[in-house]
Amino acid sequence: MSRKKKAEETGAIDLTPMLDVVFIMLIFFIVTASFIKEPGIQVNRPDAVTAIYKKNANILVAINDQNEIWINKNEVDIRQVKTQIQLLLAENPKGAVVIQADSDSNIKTLTDVAQKAREAGVADVSVSAENK
């Protein structure tokens, strides 16, 4: 009788370690996905030779080629930019604003967004560019 049980036990595959790894990977992807910030649209950023990498880009504002402003995957009117940035700044008081302007967008829209960010109390406002 004991020989049969030993033979059955050695033939079984223990899936517990594999399930542990799968759950750990699932938790890792859920946690990292919540920290990735996207403005909501894809823009064609201009090239720059003097582009500097910036780590702490917490508030992303995108301006597409039709001069539409996007914050947190929502289209925002220029009059609402200051309020939206203030809401995001309340979540992270040390947040920096990065404006991702399309190369075909209007410079007036870019400067208006930067001015609204300054009025909202953001000390660090920068413009995103493609490193050449």
pLDDT in tens, 93-127: 777 888 888 888 888 998 999 999 999 988 888 88
Q: At what angle do helices 81-91 and 107-119 cross, to 10 degrees?
A: 50
Q: How far is CA 56 from CA 15, 49, 87, 92, in A?
A: 41, 21, 18, 11
Domain that holds residue 74: 47-131
Q: How far is CA 36 from CA 10, 41, 73, in A?
A: 45, 14, 12
pLDDT in tens, 9-57: 666 777 788 889 999 999 888 877 655 566 666 666 655 555 566 666 6
Q: Is residue 23 part of a domain?
A: yes
Q: Is residue 60 part of a domain?
A: yes
Indicate if 56 and 27 belong to the same structural domain. Answer: no
pTM score, whole prediction: 0.62
Indicate if 10 and 52 belong to the same structural domain. Answer: no
Q: Is residue 105 part of a domain?
A: yes
User: Residue 68 maps to which CATH number?
Assistant: 3.30.420.270
Beta bridge partners of 41: none
